[in-house]
């Protein structure tokens, strides 16, 4: 928990903080008090921020070398450069809140409203406002308990480009100029030299092939009118750059490589397209070896000079979990048959490489369900394993995006076809511990599927930048988040070599747990060795010295430690196999339930068809009977008509003479 105020707004809040620290307006006010309450570094930066906020950039002459205190203060102030006053005020208050969280309630000029505990690093809704032709972003912090607004006074001045980002661990919507790309998802993004490139994607079921670039310094969009090479030396036929979605965009040398992706007219060939950033043309790379089948929703990870491709969904909607490697220097494909239990077939997952040694796969989805499992591939032994995750494990999701900052893997967005994932989470890849960075509420682009996420830079600090996504409508917003220093601290666990007694598979899955176990064994051995060393040499009844006893005890100790390590390793392996079997069983059960539902639906449809066929057969038999009766009646009618005709003919056979004689007509036979 951190403390925040709901009373004073800026700049009054800054002046209250400055008065609490001891600044009364003069450059040298209460230096002794400030130096005794804070460390030297903190005192210097507070002084510099106060001067920057109240006076402006440092333009005073450099003090004499004989006064190191004044020289340190001058240097700290000078390093702030042209930082705007409002940003200096915010940073001053932020540092004070980190050093003394309860300063607001203890301030001499007490606030009118009580201090309220709020959960920091939570939802931040940014609403741009215009004041005196200057753009501001008003950050509203959401309570972790009931989601109600409890703070609306923190205003961040939006300066040019990413300089507007001054709040840590909160998503901020940037004011963008220029021709914004249309909303989309399943596109691809990459950053090259402070420029974010967006290529392709899906909009309203239509695949796109446009290429846009966002200048991260000026936050200006522009569209690139890319050309297409008509012919190449290797391929004399014209090149067709088809629109695609679900592809990957990888910066390589002076090119952007577009890998795979869904197209309207899918081919069986895995396509690798290259956009030359210098001449602005698309070309198709000719690769060698056996390429993978075409697909979309796969993961493509750059490891050294190779691309590692995993999973995805092919043109026949078949989910994949195969593993392929493309050497970018020789453009040669290689299919990898890794050992161990691989992740189940999936698409829309996220992948990352850690320490150029381990490939991590998280989440994704099949046709029936979404996953939140974590798999690790040792790139040296090509062995799959499934480690035990720690901390706040994320909810199942697919269509999310991930980037790394140091050894921290940030995951944003995604969903489970019912709702979007609202939490931005981070995984420490050394400890495999998850934690929540922040959370958003409502139907916002950050809780959508198919968004992109890249890493930019601001004054030496990393910035997460997201674009697009689909959550009921197609988004085109740009949001940024600056991770706090605490979330990007480098872990010291991996600096030393891992113990030899732990297998390579378990090293890949949970190095922290291995080190803890080894530490426990080492501590136990150290205690026992200390106790043994404290024995004084003494003679036994058999004439044996304590040295023999020590040797026996040490040998027994080593044997017990060896047995203990073997048993522990066997136990860990069995637990891992059990976890893998349970996960596999869960996945198979879900697939079985889905198949059972489909089978029941098909059985119901077949039964209905059989009933319809029986009814049609009965009607056909009735029609045949009626046909036969009709034919009989027609024959009877024909006979009756013939008899009538014959009778008429006989009546007229007597002639005129018979009529004159007054005799009645007789049959022809009588005549």
Question: pLDDT, tens digit, for every residue of 634-648?
Answer: 999 999 989 999 888
Can you give the residue range of the structural domain that contains 604?
591-620
CA dist., res. 165 & res. 173, Å (int):
10
pLDDT at residue 298 tops 80: yes
Same domain, 189 and 63: no
Q: Is 542 among the domain residues?
A: no
Residues 295 and 381 in one domain: yes
Please indicate, yes or no, if residue 665 is contained in any of the structural domains: no
- How far apart (Å, rounded) are the C-alpha atoms in residues 307 and 298? 12
**Cα–Cα distance, 247 to 227 (Å, whole number):** 20
Given a cut of 50, is residue 431 above it in pLDDT?
yes
Q: Is residue 505 part of a domain?
A: no
Could you count the other beta carbons within 10 Å of the beta carbon of residue 632?
10
| Paired sense of beta strands 306-313 and 452-458, if any | unpaired
Q: Are residues 285 and 390 in the same domain?
A: yes
Residue 410: pLDDT band with limits 50, 70, 90: very high
Contacts of 460 by beta carbon, 8 Å cutoff, 6+ apart: none
Shared-domain flag, residues 76 and 183: no
When mean pLDDT is compared across 158-172, 284-298, 494-508, the lowest value belongs to 494-508
Domain finish residue from 462, 482, 502: 482
Most confidently modeled of 146-160, 173-187, 550-564? Answer: 173-187
Q: Is pLDDT above 80 for 116? A: no
The DSSP letter of residue 132 is T
* 176 and 99 in a common domain: no
In which band, very low, low, confident or very high, does the pLDDT at 537 lie, cut at 50, 70 and 90? very low
Helices (H) and strands (E) in the chain, counts: 10, 32
A 10 A CB-CB count for 589 gives 10
- What pLDDT was estimated at residue 443? 79
Residues 274 and 401 in one domain: yes
- Neighbouring C-beta atoms of residue 321, cutoff 10 Å: 18
DSSP summary character for residue 620: H
Asked whether residue 29 is domain-assigned, the answer is yes
Tell me how far apart the alpha carbons of residues 166 and 180 are, in angstroms, rounded to a whole number.
24
Whether 395 is covered by a domain: the verdict is yes
Say yes or no to pLDDT of 462 above 70. yes
SS3 at position 87: helix
Average pLDDT over residues 443-455: 93
Same domain for 373 and 279: yes
Task: Report yes or no: 296 and 246 within 8 Å, Cβ to Cβ.
Answer: yes
Q: Are residues 451 and 364 in the same domain?
A: yes
Element (H, E) at 309: strand 306-313
Residues 358 and 456 in one domain: yes
- Which pLDDT score, from 0 to 100, does residue 25 have? 52
Q: Average pLDDT for residues 336-346, to the nearest whole number? A: 96
- For residue 147, tell me if it sits in a domain: no
Of the candidates 172, 135, 137, which has an alpha carbon nearest to the alpha carbon of residue 440? 172
> What integer pLDDT is reported at residue 408 of this predicted model?
95
375: number of Cβ within 10 Å: 25
- Asked if residue 378 is part of any domain, the answer here is yes
Quickly state the pLDDT bin for 125 (edges 50, 70, 90): very low
Q: How many domains does the chain have?
A: 3
Please say which residue of 444, 462, 482 terminates a domain.
482
* Concatenated DSSP letters of 461-508: EEEEEEE--BSSSB---EEEEB--TGGGPPPSTTSSPPPTTS-HHHHH
Specify burial of residue 656 (Cβ count, 10 A radius: 0-12, 13-18, 19+). Answer: exposed
Kindly report the backbone phi and psi dihedral angles of residue 232, in degrees, each rounded to the nearest multiple of 5, phi listed first: -140, 170
Please tell me whether residues 287 and 405 are part of one structural domain: yes
The residue from 482, 508, 523 where one domain ends is 482
CATH number of the domain to which 410 belongs = 2.120.10.80
Q: Based on the domain organization, do 595 and 469 belong to the same domain?
A: no
Quick one: which of 323, 314, 271 has its CA closest to 295? 314
Neighbours of 28 (CB within 10 A): 11
First to last CA, the chain: 133
C-alpha closest to that of 177 among 214, 141, 209, 137: 214
442, 360: one domain = yes
CATH of the domain at 31: 1.20.80.10
Q: pLDDT tens for residues 21-52?
A: 888 654 445 555 676 778 888 888 888 999 88
Residue at 318 is within a domain: yes
């Amino acid at each position: 928990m951190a403390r925040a105020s709901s009373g004073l707004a800026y700049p009054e809040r800054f002046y209250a903080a400055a008065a609490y620290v001891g600044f009364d307006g003069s450059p040298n006010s209460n230096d002794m008090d400030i130096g005794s309450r804070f460390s030297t570094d903190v005192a210097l930066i507070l002084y510099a921020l106060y001067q920057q906020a109240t006076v402006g950039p440092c333009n005073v002459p450099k003090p004499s070398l004989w006064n190191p205190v004044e020289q340190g203060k001058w240097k700290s102030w000078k390093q702030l450069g042209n930082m705007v006053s409002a940003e200096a005020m915010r940073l001053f208050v932020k540092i004070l809140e980190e050093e003394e969280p309860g300063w607001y309630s203890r301030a001499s000029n007490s606030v009118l409203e009580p201090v309220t505990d709020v959960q920091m690093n939570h939802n931040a809704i940014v609403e741009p406002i215009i004041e005196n032709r200057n753009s501001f972003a008003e950050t509203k912090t959401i309570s972790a308990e009931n989601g109600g607004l409890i703070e609306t006074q923190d205003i961040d001045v939006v300066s040019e480009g990413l300089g507007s980002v001054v709040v840590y661990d909160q998503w901020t919507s940037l004011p963008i100029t220029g021709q914004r790309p249309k909303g989309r998802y399943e596109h691809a993004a990459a950053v090259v030299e402070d420029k974010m490139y967006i290529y392709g994607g899906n909009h309203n079921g239509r695949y796109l092939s446009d290429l846009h670039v966002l200048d991260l310094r000026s936050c200006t969009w522009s569209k690139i009118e890319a050309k297409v090479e008509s012919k190449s030396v290797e391929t004399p036929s014209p090149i067709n750059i088809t629109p695609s979605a679900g592809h990957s965009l990888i910066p390589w040398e002076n090119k952007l490589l577009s890998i795979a992706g869904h197209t309207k007219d899918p081919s069986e060939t895995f396509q690798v397209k290259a956009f030359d950033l210098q001449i602005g043309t698309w070309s198709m790379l000719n690769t060698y070896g056996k390429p993978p089948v075409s697909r979309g929703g796969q993961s493509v990870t750059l490891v050294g000079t190779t691309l590692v491709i995993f999973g995805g969904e092919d043109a026949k909607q078949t989910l994949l979990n195969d593993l392929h490697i493309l050497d970018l220097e020789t453009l040669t494909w290689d299919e990898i048959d890794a050992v161990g239990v691989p992740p189940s077939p999936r698409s829309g997952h996220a992948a990352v490489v850690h320490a150029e040694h381990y490939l991590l796969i998280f989440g994704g989805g099949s046709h029936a369900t979404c996953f939140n499992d974590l798999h690790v591939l040792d790139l040296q032994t090509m062995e799959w394993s499934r480690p035990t995750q720690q901390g706040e494990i994320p909810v199942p999701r697919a269509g999310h995006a991930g980037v790394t900052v140091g050894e921290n893997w940030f995951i944003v967005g995604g969903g489970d076809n019912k709702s979007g994932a609202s939490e931005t989470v981070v995984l420490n890849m050394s400890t495999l511990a998850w934690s929540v960075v922040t959370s958003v509420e409502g139907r916002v682009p950050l809780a959508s599927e198919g968004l992109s996420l890249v890493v930019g830079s601001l004054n030496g600090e990393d910035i997460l930048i997201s674009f697009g996504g689909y959550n009921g409508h197609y988004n085109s917003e740009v949001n940024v988040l600056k991770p706090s220093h605490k979330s990007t601290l480098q872990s010291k666990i991996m600096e030393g070599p891992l113990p030899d007694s732990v297998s390579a598979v378990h090293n890949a899955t949970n190095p922290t747990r291995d080190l803890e176990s080894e530490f426990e064994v080492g501590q136990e051995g150290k205690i026992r060795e200390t106790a043994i060393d404290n024995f004084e040499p003494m003679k036994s009844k058999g004439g044996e010295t304590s040295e023999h006893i020590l040797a026996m005890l040490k040998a027994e100790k080593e044997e017990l430690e060896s047995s203990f390590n073997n048993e522990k390793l066997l136990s860990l392996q069995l637990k891992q196999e059990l976890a893998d079997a349970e996960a596999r069983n869960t996945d198979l059960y879900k697939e079985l339930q889905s198949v059972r539902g489909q089978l029941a639906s098909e059985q119901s449809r077949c039964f209905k068809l059989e009933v319809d066929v029986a009814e049609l057969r009965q009607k056909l038999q009735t029609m045949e009977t009626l046909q036969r009766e009709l034919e009989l009646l027609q024959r009877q009618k024909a006979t009756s008509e013939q008899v009538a005709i014959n009778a008429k003919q006989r009546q007229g056979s007597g002639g005129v003479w018979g009529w004159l004689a007054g005799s009645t007509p007789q049959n022809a036979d009588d005549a």
